Amino acid sequence: MKTLRPPAAKATTDRAALLPLLGEVFRAHGYEGASLALISAATGLGKGSLYHFFPGGKKQMAEEVLAEIDGWFEANIFAPLRDPSDPRAAIAAMLSGVDSYFRSGHRVCLVGVIALGHARDEFAAPVNDYFARWQDALAVALRRCGLPAATARRRAEDAVLSIQGALVLARARNDAAVFTRALSDLKTRLMAA
């Protein structure tokens, strides 16, 4: 009887196509646990090819994955929240975008994974910046909805905290509905502004 093996990852020569693959390895194993063997299996590239694309090794890989995530959030979440045209629509779009990005609670936050791991200090600046800009952009939108500055900042902090906490609890309980409920409750609280 023949043993079935999972298909090998298809090797890619497109650097941009590598970043989502690397991101999933870091999500699944953390920065510390993402060995070159796991990265090689996910990308289909050998060690030499990986170092060709990322001469700085695993650290450069993680930096570029974090930058890609940051770019997505800047374009799809943060910038719309700072846009003065329709703050309520921007808040609703943020909640919808977050739901989509985190696959309705089935995908953990890689920035959060790094923030909680041993490599946190190594990536402190981009991790802090990601969360600070999210909170700041949401506070701007909430201010435009008429909330006082201190209340807007507190609600923005609570919102990011609720989203991140819901991701952790959904993962811990293996119940993505936790995330869905948290977003629904958060929408009610934020739209009451």
Q: What is the mean pLDDT of the chain?
A: 93
Domain spans in the chain, listed from the N-terminal domain onward: 62-191
| pLDDT (tens digit per residue) in 91-148 | 999 999 999 999 999 999 999 999 999 999 999 999 999 999 999 999 999 999 999 9
| pLDDT (tens digit per residue) in 9-18 | 555 568 899 9
CA distance 121 to 28: 20
193 pLDDT band (50/70/90 cuts)?
A: low
What is the pTM assigned to this prediction? Answer: 0.89
| pLDDT (tens digit per residue) in 63-75 | 999 999 999 999 9
* Residue in 21, 20, 27 with CA at minimum distance from that of residue 171: 27
**pLDDT the model gives residue 2:** 47
**pLDDT the model gives residue 147:** 96
Question: pLDDT higher for 27 or 191?
Answer: 27
CA distance 80 to 10: 36
Burial 176-189 (b: 16+ CB within 10 A, else e): bebbeebbeebbee
What average pLDDT score do residues 152-170 get? 97
**pLDDT the model gives residue 10:** 55
* Residue in 30, 6, 3, 18 with CA at minimum distance from that of residue 171: 30
1 pLDDT band (50/70/90 cuts)?
A: very low
**pLDDT the model gives residue 119:** 93
